[in-house]
Amino acid sequence: MSNSYEVEPTHGVAERTALVALVTGDAPRRVVEEHLEELARLVDTAGGTVVVREIQQRPAPDPATVVGSGFIERLADRCRDERIEVVVFDEDLTASQVRNIERALPATVKVLDRAAVILDIFAQRARSREAQTQVELAQLSYLLPRLTRRWRHLSRQAGGIGTRGVGETQLEIDRRLIFRRIAQLKDKLEVIERDRRHRRQGRSELPAIALVGYTNAGKSSLFRALTRSDVLVEDRLFATLDPRARRAALGDGVVAILTDTVGFIRKLPHDLVAPFRSTLEEATEADLVLHVVDVAHGSWEEQLAVGDEVLEGLGVERERTLVVLNKIDLLPALRPAWLPAGRESVAVSATAGQGLDELRRAARRALLAAPGVTFLSIPLDQTDAVQRAVRLPHRLAQRFGGRTLELAMRVDGRQLSKAGLDPFRVAGWTPVEPGGGH
């Protein structure tokens, strides 16, 4: 059984696109429809115009065409009637499945899967040397197992005899070239990542905060609000691909380096996650991770779960994560029951400015309560001690408390003893005991 409905095309020269999704067994149709809506947004971001959406229901995927030969025949008629140029499946397609589907559709129709669309968006959005290298690596990793269909024109031209060896030879040459290029790109990425780690060490005196979350959750808007910087804010998926970092004043003398990262997305193939892992490494090394969630989205809890799974895979502990429920201005009211149980969370609207002060307080509190943070309070008339203190590295925060200089630092007892300083509690900054960490 299949179901189809049309979407009014937009004006312009974008390729006319049909989307295809599969419902198997007792899987909830609502979830498939949500995934198809997300795929439509991906196609829009890539520059296509969604003209037709098709949903096919089967007990299990068809090994040859995913959706079955009868459905493919009807889809071919729709493609001719609607002048479709691209068909995008919301499933990962093998090389043989693509070949079988393309044979049944009009010759002018391209067949892609979700991963191919995402790669196209990455290729459009990559700006930095690192992102462009990662894109090429991901594209080659995606292309390698699908090379067989690239040479089918040889058999069409002259059959198997006399051309089969040429095709196989060319295919093997291509494979060797791709393997060689992949090795070169991996070496290049190692150099880039080594340089990035070196730059990160140069700013290690300030605490690091990473913004993570589902794509289009409002991370860029929040980044702009907290850093007061002019960055791209666009209502499209993967608006941010290159990691970017800015200083963010959190109040009470606390300043941090805030980094925006590439967004999470459902059904992103693992071989596409790996090349872009370095954009998320900011989260693994950050002192605090702000997990941004679009609470106005109907499936925000699922998106939170997707993000938690990614962070867990990266080794980011829950204790280092603060959930930020964004876009509360789009809700009639935020119910306390919606707040994640057992998780520290803050409700905000990055665009309307709601809850940002509370978010800064929560971030400040989390940074200063982290293990290894030491607090100093030095009378200003002890100029020699003040000079020794400000020369110490890894200063997290600094403020003046009347006649004293108050500092929050990541230093150990040996460094303090060498500088002739003693740590003790600073009232009002944090509840932890002198010396921090407990």
Assigned CATH topology for domain 204-368? Rossmann fold (3.40.50)
Query: Distance between CA 250 and CA 226 in Å, rounded?
Result: 8
Instruction: For domain 2-121, give the fold.
Output: Rossmann fold (3.40.50)
pLDDT at residue number 8:
37
Neighbouring C-beta atoms of residue 10, cutoff 10 Å: 11
**Cα–Cα distance for residue pair 223/227, rounded to 1 Å:** 6
- pLDDT band (50, 70, 90) for residue 131: confident
Per-residue pLDDT for 269 more than 90? Answer: no
Tens-place pLDDT, residues 74-92 = 999 999 999 999 999 998 8
Q: Are 257 and 177 in contact (CB under 8 A)?
A: no
Q: What is the pLDDT of residues 40-76, one digit of tens each?
A: 988 988 889 999 999 999 999 999 999 999 999 999 9
Residue 235 has pLDDT above 90, yes or no: no
Q: What tokens does 424 get?
A: 């003790």
pLDDT at 1: 43
pLDDT at 202 over 60: no
Other C-beta atoms lying within 10 Å of the C-beta of residue 26: 7
Question: Is residue 437 a contact partner of residue 371, using CB atoms and an 8 Å limit?
Answer: yes
Count of C-beta atoms within a 10 Å radius of residue 87: 25
> Residue 240's pLDDT is what?
52
Asked if 314 and 291 count as a contact pair (C-beta separation under 8 A), the reply is no
Task: Count Cα atoms within 13 angstroms, Cβ side, for 304.
Answer: 24
Predicted pLDDT at 199: 64
Alpha-carbon dihedral sign for residues 300, 304, 305, 310: positive
Residue 346's pLDDT is: 92
Query: Which of the listed ranges 178-182, 269-273, 325-329, 367-371 does the model predict with the highest average pLDDT?
Result: 325-329
User: Given its phi and psi angles, is residue 28 left (phi above 0), alpha (psi -120 to 50 degrees) or beta?
Assistant: beta
φ/ψ of residue 15, rounded to 5: -65, 135
User: Is pLDDT at 105 greater than 50 in this prediction?
Assistant: yes
| pLDDT at residue 3, as a whole number | 47
Average pLDDT over residues 264-293: 73
